[in-house]
């Protein structure tokens, strides 16, 4: 089998080309992808060449870990799943490119266990399940956020998931005035306006490695800073203020299967909405322009590649 896929040949060198696929094994499914999302965190680092050393890294590679489509074929042990609408968090199914992420392609081959059934009614919004589950994973590790740094998609989902699970509305910092809308039931403010120094749980979704000293000053004694973004530079902080605050630091990694299940349940019950997060859409044939827009236009919260006519 072959598929059309987005291929990063090297830093800032992107192509849309045909790749050979590994044949499906007994427990695999074959998914025709309708939509895939572009991550402005990890994929920006891959595209720019700034991704820190990571197992499986190297070029050429297929990016993407947010794909939604339909199972159209399978190995003999997964035939009952044909026809399901699924979310796929990437795939390593290519003969001539790395699949560290691997979701930005028209057709994917992956283990049936990695294809999560979702409601067909979600359509393109289904690509956001990975980030929503990542937000849930961060929150499940400790106290819910009362301050969130950054009002991008992850910051918005941190706020939405926390409130969907019964936590009080957090405060969100956003330096870009154009991104301060859409808060709804929580306040989105300029950091310069915030005089509080009693936050118990601060979640950083900005990926800014220079913020730690500022955040320590905003903590209550014994408070926690959760690193929920992805950082390409070393992190450091001044020890005396952190010592005085008895600050704690926690790194939140990617979601686990139970986070995905809990997130799907929140969506299905209506407690968590994925509306108004996707701002841009382009055909997969225009992938080069789509990636440049996703990484260069501050008005772009989430870019979707549409594979249906590719």
Tokens describing residue 157: 């989902």
Q: Give the integer Cα–Cα distance in Å for 77 and 57.
A: 31
Q: Summarize the confidence of residues 112-122 as an average pLDDT.
A: 96
Angle separating helix axes 257-268 and 129-140, nearest 10 degrees: 110
- The average confidence (pLDDT) of the chain is 94
Residue 278's CB is within 10 A of a number of other CB atoms, namely 19
pLDDT band at 50 (very low <50, low <70, confident <90, very high): confident
Examine the pLDDT at 83 and tell me if it is beyond 80: yes
Out of 47-56, 260-269, 288-297, least confident range: 47-56
pTM here is 0.94
Omega before 60 cis (within 30°)? yes
Hey, what CATH topology would domain 131-251 get? Rossmann fold (3.40.50)
Q: Summarize the confidence of residues 65-86 as an average pLDDT.
A: 98
**Res 161: pLDDT:** 98
Q: Summarize the confidence of residues 249-272 as an average pLDDT.
A: 94
Task: Tell me how far apart the terminal alpha carbons of the chain are, to the nearest angstrom.
Answer: 16
Question: Domain segments of the chain: what residues?
Answer: 2-117+278-306, 131-251
Tokens describing residue 97: 């490119």
**Res 199: pLDDT:** 98
**Res 41: pLDDT:** 82
Which overall architecture, per CATH, does domain 2-117+278-306 show?
Alpha-Beta Complex (3.90)
Q: Mind listing the pLDDT tens digit for each residue in 205-242?
A: 998 999 999 999 999 999 999 999 888 889 999 999 99
């Amino acid at each position: 089998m072959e598929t059309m896929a987005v291929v990063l040949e090297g830093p800032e060198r992107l192509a849309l080309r045909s790749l050979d696929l590994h044949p499906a094994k007994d427990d695999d499914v074959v998914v025709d992808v309708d939509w895939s999302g572009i991550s402005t965190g990890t994929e920006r680092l891959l595209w720019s060449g700034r991704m820190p050393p990571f197992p499986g890294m190297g070029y050429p590679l297929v990016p993407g870990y947010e794909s939604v489509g339909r199972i159209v074929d399978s190995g003999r042990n997964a035939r009952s799943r044909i026809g399901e609408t699924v979310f796929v968090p990437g795939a390593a199914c290519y003969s001539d490119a790395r699949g560290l992420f691997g979701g930005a392609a028209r057709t994917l081959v992956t283990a049936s266990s990695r294809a999560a059934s979702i409601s067909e009614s979600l359509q393109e919004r289904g690509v956001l399940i990975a980030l929503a589950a990542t937000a849930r994973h961060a929150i499940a590790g400790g106290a819910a956020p009362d301050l969130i740094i950054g009002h991008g998609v992850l910051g918005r989902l941190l706020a939405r998931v926390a409130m969907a699970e019964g936590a009080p509305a957090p405060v969100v910092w956003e330096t870009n005035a154009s991104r301060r809308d859409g808060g709804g039931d929580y306040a989105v403010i300029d950091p310069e306006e915030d005089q509080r120094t009693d936050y118990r749980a601060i979640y950083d979704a900005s990926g800014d490695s220079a913020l730690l000293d500022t955040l320590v000053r905003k903590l209550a004694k014994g408070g926690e800073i959760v690193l929920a973004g992805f950082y390409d530079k070393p992190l450091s902080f001044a020890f005396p203020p952190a010592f005085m605050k008895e600050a704690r630091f926690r790194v939140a990694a990617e979601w686990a299967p139970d986070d995905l299940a809990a997130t799907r349940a929140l969506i299905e019950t209506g407690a968590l909405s994925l509306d108004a997060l996707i701002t841009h859409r382009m055909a997969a044939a225009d992938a080069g322009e789509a990636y440049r827009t996703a990484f260069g236009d501050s008005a772009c919260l989430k870019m979707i590649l549409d594979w249906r006519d590719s």
